[in-house]
Structure 1
Amino acid sequence: MSRMTPFSSPLLLGFDSVERTLERIGKGGEGYPPYNIERLREEPTGEEAGANFLRITLAVAGFSPSELEVTTEENQLTIRGRQADDKDRDYLHRGIAARQFQKTFLFADGMRIVGARLGNGLLMIDLARPEPERIVKRIEIVVAD
């Protein structure tokens, strides 16, 4: 018996990769570190007109820039944080763990990373999404009689 999904309609051609991506996103979902995604009203660094700008902000208090890594591969943004345990400290109470994390975001074709900065315990990553051109193309019909 085959599984019915929203993308199994015969009218949706070539969306099988989107379905796999949605399944992969659904399996992830660890909540650490907390993050926001916002639409920026102004261009973050004076980029070109006609683009929408987004910002991903992660709460990474306690991480130095050398303990954070931001990479992209194809349409995937990966943020990793690795803190080393300080063996020289003798804790009486330890409520702040040296915790590692990996957070992955998938973005659409054409989007690009504008920049990343760390300030006040927040890692901010700015993305640009250019407005797609609306192209209408007439397809000629060939008569085969």
Structure 2
Amino acid sequence: MKPVRYAFDSAEVESRFAAFPESARAGLLKLRALIFETAAATPGVGAVQETLKWGQPAYLTPETKSGSTIRLGLPKQGGFAIFTHCQTTLIPDFRSLFPDDFTYEGNRAIHFRDGEDPEAEKVGLLIHSALTYHLKKRA
């Protein structure tokens, strides 16, 4: 997946990305771009707000409240990760589709190795599910 540049609205978030180790930054920026691309292509999501939560870049849908928060960061084990709220079914549902394709951290994250290129098609499904999580619960 070729990274697409999306402007940062927040200097705090931009400086957080700049502080990530270069070995993880490229993958995190690819995940960031995939979040914005998926949101733009998904009806009912609306604008995505990028902010910091617990010191990590976080992505919310405040306009529509359609989604559950997605965070990007560095797991203690190394590499980089995409995190979802642990009390949702997002990771368990995703793991049922791809049980052996990813390294999972319980119900809260998918881990990637430094330099790994996140599979846009598969990870995009997780992002889509997170961005529409509350829409499904309302239906």
Q: TM-score, normalised by structure 1?
A: 0.27
Larger radius of gyration: 1
More strand as a share of residues:
1
More helix as a share of residues:
2
